[in-house]
Amino acid sequence: MDIIQHGGDPQVGNLATPINASAFSKAFINNLPGYRQGLSAQRRGLEIGMAHGYFLYGPFALLGPLRNADFAGVAGLLGTVGLISLLTLALSLYGSVGVSTPTATLTTPNPPENLGTKEGWSEFAAGFLIGGCGGALVAYGLCVALPMMYTI
């Protein structure tokens, strides 16, 4: 019994292993916002941006050079928004150079078609910016509000 098999064409470089060819792995990857069916490009960017903005706030606020200052939370928020802006610029540049339609792989047999156009990447980048700034604001709000709630 062969455990590792090629996914149709052995020269593609995507071998079917028990990890990437299992039903769990396929279901997990196909439910991520980048590959979930029925989402617009802006909604994909919004979900991915929210996650990135939320988890990037912590390292800037708690591990940054201003971590011992009274305004460490605000510095973390500004650093996160700055990085999200740079990432949005990178997404916009990537989308403007002319992307091709996504190819189907063993793990993602139905890739989203709206990320194969310049308009789709533009919508994705706009959603990423809004979601990233929103996620950073939510994280900042939680870090500010939770200590106040403990005093009640």
The pLDDT of residue 5: 55
The per-residue pLDDT for 12 is 62
Length of the chain: 152
Whole-structure pTM value: 0.84
User: What domains, with CATH codes, occur in the chain?
Assistant: 1-31 (no CATH), 38-150 (1.20.1240.10)
Q: How far apart are CA 152 and CA 149, in angstroms?
A: 5
Radius of gyration of the chain (CA): 20
The DSSP code for 114 is G
- Residue 1 pLDDT: 44
CB proximity list for 95: less than 8 A, separation 6 or greater: 118, 120, 121, 122, 124, 125
Rounded distance between C-alpha atoms, residue 30 and residue 40, angstroms:
15
Q: How do the pLDDT tens digits run along the chain, 152 residues long? A: 455 555 556 666 666 777 777 889 888 988 889 888 889 999 999 999 999 999 999 999 999 999 999 999 999 999 999 999 999 999 999 988 878 887 777 777 788 888 888 999 999 999 999 999 999 999 999 999 988 888 87
